[in-house]
């Protein structure tokens, strides 16, 4: 019998699949995703999966009338295909992380009576997960008190490299591998002050923006370590005493596991404004700060640079449980 994993489209979803599957080395795993999004890039050549399938699908939300008709037609065809794959692979459970990639397999699992386990990454529940929640065997969310598993599935290295921060000696700007214009602009405005305070700069500017941002730092005569995509993000985070970042779930929980306090600047167009609510979850527990893009005030950000991070850092270390991926893996095996 196999464990089928589905969902994706974006790195936030796919990171969960990657973390959980690494705790399932002795299980037969199958992945079903979409031809659209990042699914194929992440798992197209992944040898841990016995089989991988990428079905033609696209999101229904934010589409015009004709786009919705096309999306629904693709969804129906993909659901029929997913149903066939689940029967042929003798699936014992389906693990869904949301996103349009997950819809066909999740619907097929319900049609066949195969237990469905959902992981919701964000404080604002995605539209598919909200629709499927009542039919799921288990619904996992680190933001909800009644979740069967509270720990967020993060790679062990983030916990292993955790340390208590105090005075800010190094700052990291995190806009994701694609970059974030607002965070790039804020970093460059802050740079002269950071130089005055002798604060080292680490800056994830985005693959397309590396050259432009490097030149801007050079023009300011300021040293900064600038990068786009990296497989060594935990090493960069470990060096930092403070972060200014987007508040996608993976970034938020990785920084939390590192005990690195942050000012979060949510992506303003995220579905359901989920990045704002992700950050608010931490702000409400007094372990982070939040500013919307439209409300960024340079003086207020500069004031944070003199804050002692010790209290928030210690609180973060106690906030997040370890072994989230392992706990989810055990739940899947035991169904």
The structural domains of the chain, ordered by start, are 2-154+322-334 (3.40.50.2000), 157-319 (3.40.50.2000)
The model's pTM? 0.87
Label residue 270 by pLDDT band (50, 70, 90). Answer: confident
- Looking at the predicted structure, is the pLDDT value of residue 304 above 70? yes
Per DSSP (E only), the strands in the chain are 2-6, 29-34, 49-55, 91-96, 116-120, 138-141, 170-174, 200-204, 225-227, 242-245, 262-264, 289-290
Label residue 130 by pLDDT band (50, 70, 90). Answer: very high
Label residue 108 by pLDDT band (50, 70, 90). Answer: very high
pLDDT given at position 159: 93
- Tell me the average pLDDT across 299-325: 94
Label residue 134 by pLDDT band (50, 70, 90). Answer: very high
Per-residue pLDDT reduced to its tens digit, 76-91? 999 999 999 999 999 9
pLDDT given at position 84: 97
What's the mean per-residue pLDDT of the chain?
93
Per-residue pLDDT reduced to its tens digit, 176-205? 877 799 999 999 999 999 999 999 999 999
Cross-strand partners of 54: 33
Q: Which residue has the higher pLDDT, 285 or 66?
A: 285
pLDDT given at position 72: 85
Instruction: Find the radius of gyration of the CA atoms of the chain.
Output: 21
135: helix, coil or strand? helix
Per-residue pLDDT reduced to its tens digit, 31-69? 999 998 889 989 999 999 999 999 998 777 666 777 778
The DSSP code sequence of 81-105 is HHHHHHHHTTEEEEEE--SGGGHHH
Q: What angle do CA 290, 292, 293 make, to 5 degrees?
A: 130
pLDDT given at position 61: 67
Q: Which residue has the higher pLDDT, 38 or 27?
A: 27
**Order of strands, sheet of 242-245, starting from the edge strand that comes earlier in the sequence:** 225-227, 200-204, 170-174, 242-245, 262-264, 289-290
Q: Count the Cβ atoms, other than its own, within 10 Å of residue 65.
A: 7
pLDDT given at position 62: 67
Least confident piece of the model among 43-52, 65-74, 298-307? 65-74
């Amino acid at each position: 019998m196999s464990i089928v994993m589905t969902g994706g489209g974006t790195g936030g979803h796919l990171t969960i699949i990657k973390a959980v599957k690494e705790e399932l080395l002795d299980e037969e795993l199958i992945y079903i995703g979409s031809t659209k999004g990042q699914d194929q890039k992440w798992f197209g050549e992944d040898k841990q999966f016995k089989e991988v399938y990428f079905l033609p699908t696209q999101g229904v939300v934010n589409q015009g009338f004709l786009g919705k008709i096309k999306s629904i037609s693709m969804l129906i065809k993909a659901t029929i295909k997913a149903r066939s794959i689940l029967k042929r692979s003798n699936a014992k459970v389906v693990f869904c992380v949301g996103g349009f990639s997950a819809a066909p397999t999740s619907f097929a699992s319900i049609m066949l009576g195969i237990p469905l386990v959902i992981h919701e990454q964000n404080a604002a529940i995605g539209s598919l997960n909200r629709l499927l929640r009542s039919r799921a065997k288990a619904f996992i969310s680190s933001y909800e008190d009644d979740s069967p598993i509270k720990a967020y599935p993060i790679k062990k290295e983030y916990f292993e490299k955790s340390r208590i921060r105090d005075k800010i000696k190094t700052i990291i700007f995190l806009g994701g591998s694609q970059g974030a214009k607002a965070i790039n602009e804020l970093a460059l405005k802050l740079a002269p002050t950071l130089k005055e305070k002798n604060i080292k700069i680490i800056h994830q500017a985005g693959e397309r923006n590396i050259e432009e941002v490097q030149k801007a730092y050079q023009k300011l005569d300021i040293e900064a370590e600038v990068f786009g995509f990296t497989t060594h993000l935990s090493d960069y985070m470990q060096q930092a005493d403070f972060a200014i970042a987007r508040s996608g779930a993976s970034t938020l929980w990785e920084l939390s596991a590192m005990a690195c306090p942050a000012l979060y600047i949510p992506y303003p167009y995220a579905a359901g404004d989920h990045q704002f609510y992700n950050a608010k979850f931490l702000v409400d527990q007094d372990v982070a700060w939040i500013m919307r893009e439209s409300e960024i005030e340079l003086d207020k950000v500069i004031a944070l640079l003199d804050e002692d991070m010790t209290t928030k850092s210690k609180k973060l270390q106690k906030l997040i449980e370890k072994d989230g991926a392992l706990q989810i893996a055990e739940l899947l095996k035991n169904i």
